[in-house]
Structure 1
Amino acid sequence: MLQGKKIILGISGSIAAYKSAFLTRLLIKAGAEVQVLMTPSAQDFITPLTLSTLSKRPVYSEVSSETGWNNHVELGLWADAMLIAPVTATTLAKLANGLCDNILVAAYLSARCPVFFAPAMDLDMWHHPATRHNVERLISYGNQLIPVGVGELASGLSGEGRMAEPEDIVAYLERFFAQKQDLAGKKILLTAGPTYEPIDPVRFIGNRSSGKMGIALADAAARRGAEVTLILGPSKLTPQEKAVKLIKVETAQEMHDAAVQLFPQMNAAILAAAVADYRPKTVATEKIKKKGEELQLDLIKNPDIAADLGKMKQAGQLLIGFALETNDEESNAQGKLEKKNFDCIVLNSLRDAGAGFNHDTNKISILFRNNKKRDFELKSKNAVAEDILQAMIDLFNV
């Protein structure tokens, strides 16, 4: 799938840079042309000579050198993809904020091709709010995160922060370039993110959903040729694929109304949003002041999006739901599958490490109406999205 592809490999100054030699070799072996760019600090960890020998091309580490100007604009036009691996916290911040002080960032800012980034840093650095903000900003620009690995780190700590292994990075790129257009002509409706139910002008009832899983599904469906409409609750994230039609909502009622209006024109709907079941009966017009030891809120039931779409579903339409459970997972999901008239339901459990809200990974099972079930290992949410879409395509083809 990488045969003949032109790939810029950007390397920043991390101990994980030692993996870039193997990564370069794998890309060349897969048939790609590789142009290596290095930040000055990357040269402290691996030599340009090693990488130029493997790539059979000169390695650039400066915008200008003794031989002249290294045209980063031309490089940005030349490439079919730009892969930055490893990305340190410093380079991540520069990319996210457009701080152009080296050839790697200059080429990134000039690139018209898809950009993939594979971070590498210590556990606490990876989880720091500044890093999370920079990752989310890069994703919002349309760049694709290759999730970090979990394991022993250079500091001696163990946890998230390892750069993905070279084999996994190459496989990620191959999946991207192998995207089939097997959803061409299909109209897909998606819901994602939380809903916020106002209590007063400054407070609300909500949940911890980030919208990552639903957005990954929207992007993956668009890449496979579908006409995608995403109804997104309050989330800091947005789809990477510009073809996704985005409708932003805040409350369950707003999400319900949009979904009910759009569903009749759709071939399928995937309901990945974490919708609030209840909302305050009355919303205060002014901020509620603190008084007394207790505050009582009367809640009323929100409209059931899944149930209403299940009643509307026509022959040939598919409806796929989600179940996030904490106990009796399969029985609860199976009951929801029948009650809501889903064609299949995606089950994940908060008992599974790395699954659920705010993670870049998920671990799912897919339950079908014929009592069949498919179990999957822990994967990136991008990879999970592909598994869910494949299940949907299989149902279309039944």
Structure 2
Amino acid sequence: MDSGNLAWAVTATALVLFMTPGVAFFYGGLVRAKSVVSMMMLSFGAIALIAVLWILYGASMSSVDAPWDFSGNPFADFGLAAANSDSMVSLAYGATFAIITVALISGAIADRAKFGAWMIFVGVWGTLVYFPVASWVWGGGWAMSLGHMMGLDHTVIDYAGGTAVHINAGAAALALALVLGKRIGFNKTINKPHNVPLVMLGAAILWFGWFGFNAGAEGTAGLLGTGESRVGLIVINTLGATAAAILGWLVIEKLRSRKSTSVGAASGAVAGLVAITPACADLTPGWALLLGVVAGVLCCLAVELKWKLGYDDSLDVVGIHLVGGMLGTLYLGFFATRTGLFVGGDISQLFMQFVTAFAVLIYSFVVAYAVGWIIEKTIGFRVKSEDEVAGIDTALHGEEGYLLADRV
């Protein structure tokens, strides 16, 4: 790896790692003031545990020798003892994807989850789901090889994580929301964020870091081999789709409630970022703008489903990440440059996108539900009702997010 690529690889790794504190701020501002510490700790706990597990065996599991291997051998290079320095940069970049995928799940169980139980879930789900799925999509597994096995000259497109990150996390979030059940007093007024500036700060950090998330692979793993770099296309699509999604979300808010909110703008930005993630390198900018608008509109409508269907996804991980991830992944089947159904291709791209998206969704949901259910039935996943009502920061962590001067 030359010095320029190496410098960008380290920078991109730092950018993506910074996204998880961005998730902590975004989620932390959305919950009650009495739960902000607990909410942010779920993200920081994910950073700590997943980083350690990735170094020990997750990196080894994330690539396979044959397409139909479930995952790589976790003991192939335990603790990365045999990895060289350049490859470790790429592996560190991969670790940041694993970290944020797990952290995203936590939004579905805000205000009611035990920290210790969450950490057990993080370790088990990361091992059984994220590490193998990463090998399927990016590490030579069946999804990455699907086009070749079908005799095609193209294959599944997931440049930066529509399936492996967002569908994966969204499906697990839905499973945990069902396992833990509804918050006490579950209704539309329960969702008022306690700190809107914190939400906006988190969204801004996410947008900033997402340029490393989407464009980072250009300098870390040599995914393109030789030829013209797509980094300019990736950057402009990451900017444009996100901006368009904000507009789409705000228009729907205005039509429904006569007000366009700052939380809506922040949520729209995240929805656009999610949708463009798998597609950033394989859409022309015009189609990326359309994807952004559709993502903003569709995700704004999708977050209302929990009230109609009765599941308590506290911070709308399902409505934004699962729905946005599915949209971005399937959209490629229609509009991916040269292979999309409406831009010169045939049904094969859509078929491969569909198979991969739903395979990851089903697998992640089933395993997450099983792991969550076992934890709930053994040590308990949900906090006591009295702690939930009082606010879980003090009960779980012995801290308060805000200590007012007149209480000192």
Same fold (TM over 0.5): no
The structure with higher relative contact order (CA 8 Å, sep 6+) is 2
Larger helix percent: 2
* TM-score of the superposed pair, with normalisation by structure 1: 0.28
TM normalised by structure 2 equals: 0.28
Report which of the two structures shows the higher radius of gyration computed on alpha carbons: 1
Normalized per residue, the structure richer in strand is: 1
